[in-house]
Amino acid sequence: MGIVSPSLYIYLRTERNQLLLADGKKWTGKNTEQPEIVIVFHGQVWQQVPAGIDLAATTVVSFEKDRVRFFDFNRMEGGFYRKHPSHH
């Protein structure tokens, strides 16, 4: 797992793009071979920018073929994790 913040983690060994959110909520996206960008705002995952969103309170996560990048606009920090092959 990759740590983004105390309330947001990235699963790195899964067959689908996945995030673990606060309160144990899990979000699952596309197959890991497909690129995908999501926005995390107030404990919810959005695949489009919702109306009235405060971008300063968001984290953007970019799932790519061999890595996952993220940027937390609230803390003005970001980074990336390399993906590991999924276990079957």
For the chain (88 residues), the mean pLDDT of every run of 10, in chain order, is 94 95 94 95 91 92 96 95 72
Q: Which residues on neighbouring strands pair with residue 11, listed in sequence order?
A: 18
**pLDDT value, residue 84:** 76
**pLDDT value, residue 88:** 46
Q: Which helix (H) or strand (E) holds 78?
A: strand 77-82
**Dihedral angle at the C-alpha atoms of 2, 73, 79, 33, nearest 10 degrees?**
70
In the numeric block, which tokens belong to residue 31?
């197959």
CA-nearest of 78, 66, 74 to 17 is 66
In the numeric block, which tokens belong to residue 36?
């995908």
pTM confidence score? 0.90
State the first-to-last Cα distance of the chain, in angstroms, to the nearest integer. 17
